[in-house]
Structure 1
Amino acid sequence: MSTSTLPPASSDDNRLISREPMFFVVSIKKLFIMTFFTLGLYSFYWSCRNWMFYRQATGENVDPVWRSLLSVFSFYLLLSLVDRRIRSTGRQYAWSPALLSVGVMLAAASPSVLLHISEHTYGRVPVSEVLVVLIPLGVMCFWIIGRAQQAINYCEFDPVGRGNTELSMTELVCALLGALCWVALVMIGILSMLLGIFDW
């Protein structure tokens, strides 16, 4: 399976401008809520849904799960397909799929590189340094996926994602479970700091 090149454009691009959704529409607010409270796991679901919509709309033989597992490499392909669909409808959208994709690759590689440098420089990796690395990268990932979703919503003629704004019961349960995980992580962090378990 190749994730590095776009499928050749066919002369029959009417399928690109059909009314059938080709990508996953969701409001930015809901996307951020679900991504945050599921500790980022919603981004995997988001990727799967996009590839599932694309496969259904085009009939192309793509595996949404594998494309999502390899999303660091397939992200550019997905965004390029979104951009192609936008252009096929005679519209333009001010964004850069390439830059967003580079951002995803940097976010994926940076933690291990920076923490490896810190460990070899200081002989340890304090929790505070881990947070200094992860928090900005998390914010950057939020911005990247949000920017990509804005383009997808525009692509599907639903700029604010009105077609998918409410949390389903399953999504609500997942968000609540994620919130409990966040509370548990904060409590573990506070206890470890008080007991001196980790080097802060």
Structure 2
Amino acid sequence: MSDKTYAPPQARLATASDVQRPFYVVSKTKFMTLFMLTFGLYLLYWAYKNWQQFKQASGQPMWPIARAIFMLFYTHALYREANTLIKKNGRRHDWLPWDLASQFVVILLISHGLDGMSNRHPDNLWLDIASVALLPIQALVTFKGQRGLNAAAGDPQGESNARFTPINYVFMALGATLWCTMLYSMATTVN
């Protein structure tokens, strides 16, 4: 007979990588860099990852891809879920999720409106400039919401996702190339 027969059972402790976070966590530097260098296209990935992780953590049936594509209609719900989780876990995070989601939606609508007008009037440089000038404002407003998502996931600073991955560098290089091309085009149009 084995001496281990009467030994207490050994539990396998979960590592940080085993724990499923309920929301996508990202640091400010990584978020802002990817947002700006991809001209805001990072938002699609951001919304998808948030809903995908929420679906896995909560078990609720949903289509994360659809919620990402229609983020305009689902951002209030995303922030509300994060706020509910913050309160449920006895944490505190000073944010106004409804207001931040509303600001996100308004800026997204303005951005799409400017892009649409720019496409209809390609010779109007001012529409392009306004669209580019709105990008950092949109990034800051979105990151304020991300801070709430980070808090709900138990990582307020986003330290668990602060490092850039090889795929991040690929998109950053493509984005930097696009930025250079766009700025060169704008500069030559002005002259």
1:51 corresponds to: 51
Aligned to 2:70: 70
1:142 is aligned to 2:139:
yes
Amino acid in the other structure paired with 1:67:
R
Alignment partner, residue 8 of structure 2:
none
Distance 1:105 1:149, change over 3 A: closer
Q: Deviations over 1:113-135 (max 9, x none)?
A: 8x97xx9xxx998422542x324
Task: Return the alpha-carbon distance in structure 2 between the equivalents of residues 74 and 83 of structure 1.
Answer: 14
Task: Find the counterpart in structure 2 of residue 193 from structure 1.
Answer: 190
Structure 1 Cα separation of the partners of residues 132 and 171 of structure 2? 22
1:127 aligns with 2:116: no
Change (3 A) 1:125 1:101: farther
Q: Deviations over 1:28-73 (max 9, x none)?
A: 1100011111111111101110111011111111111110111011
Question: d(CA) in 1 for partners of 2:122 and 2:55?
Answer: 47
Amino acid at match of 2:158: G
Which deviates further from its counterpart, 147-156 or 81-90?
A: 147-156
What secondary structure, in the 3-state scheme, does the structure 2 residue paired with 1:39 have? Answer: coil
Aligned residue type for 2:75: F
- Specify the alignment match of 1:107 in structure 2: 107
Trace 1:13-92 onto structure 2 (pairs within 5 A): 20-92=20-92
Q: What is the correspondence of 1:169-180 to structure 2 with a 5 Å cutoff?
A: 169-180=166-177
Structure 1 residues 64, 143: CA separation in 2 closer, same or farther (over 3 Å shift)? same
Unaligned runs of 5+ in 2: 1-18
- CA radius of gyration, larger in: 2
Select the residue among 152, 177, 182 that pairs with 2:179: 182
Instruction: Let me know the Cα RMSD of the aligned residues.
Output: 2.4
Match of 1:157 among 150, 154, 157: 154
Question: How far apart, CA to CA, are the structure 2 residues paired with 1:98 and 1:136?
Answer: 25
Instruction: Please report the TM-score for the alignment, with normalisation by the length of structure 2.
Output: 0.80
3-state secondary structure, aligned to 2:159 = coil
Q: What is the CA–CA distance in structure 2 between the aligned matches of 1:69 and 1:129, rounded to whole Å?
A: 24
d(CA) in 2 for partners of 1:179, 1:105? 26
**Identity across matched positions, percent:** 22
In structure 2, relative to structure 1, the CA distance for the partners of 1:27 and 1:139 (3 Å cut) is: same
Superposed CA deviations along residues 144-172 of structure 1, whole A, max 9, x for unmatched, are: 21111111111122111110111111111
Amino acid corresponding to residue 180 of structure 2 in structure 1:
V
- Counterpart CA distance in 1 for 2:107 and 2:172 is 24
